Amino acid sequence: MSGPAFYSGVISIAKNEDWVVSFTFQTNDTVPEPIDLTGSRLELHVRAQETDHTALVVTSSPGNGILFDSAEDGEFTIKILHAETMNMTAPSSTRLISGNSYVADLIRVRPDGEIERIFDAVVEVTEGTTR
């Protein structure tokens, strides 16, 4: 995978519920244009540290947590189930990121086989208010 992510940010996940968010992948131009994802595969990996070989959560398309709402318009939804997040806690003090934070990246495997990183994020995990 080459180059930095297209976008970066923070994802906040409450351990007591599913995390469901819709996205539109588009250019960074003054007038953003949707990027056609037809024929692409998306994968989201959440790890305790960037250097970990094993992901704690993996979702992907088609149908394993990432669904295309309109691939030609760059629209997709990511769903991480409560069952996947309920055991996420702050690991030991050897973490690279402090607190209840993890790291995630979303990659796109284009129809031509090229891989690009769409999004990288710090994942903040909270207990959630309602139990």
Q: How far is CA 32 from CA 35, 38, 77, 78, 118, in A?
A: 9, 18, 19, 21, 15
Q: Kindly state whether residue 1 falls inside one of the protein's structural domains.
A: no
* Distance (Å, whole) CA 43 – CA 99: 25
Question: Tens digit of pLDDT for each residue in 8-64?
Answer: 888 888 888 889 999 999 887 788 889 999 999 999 999 988 888 898 899 999 889
Containing structural domain, residue 51:
7-26+36-126
Band (pLDDT 50/70/90 cuts) for residue 99 is: low
Q: Kindly state whether residue 131 falls inside one of the protein's structural domains.
A: no
CATH number at residue 108: 2.60.40.10
pTM, entire model = 0.81
Q: Kindly state whether residue 2 falls inside one of the protein's structural domains.
A: no
**Domain tally for the chain?**
1
Q: How far is CA 100 from CA 12, 57, 129, in A?
A: 10, 15, 16
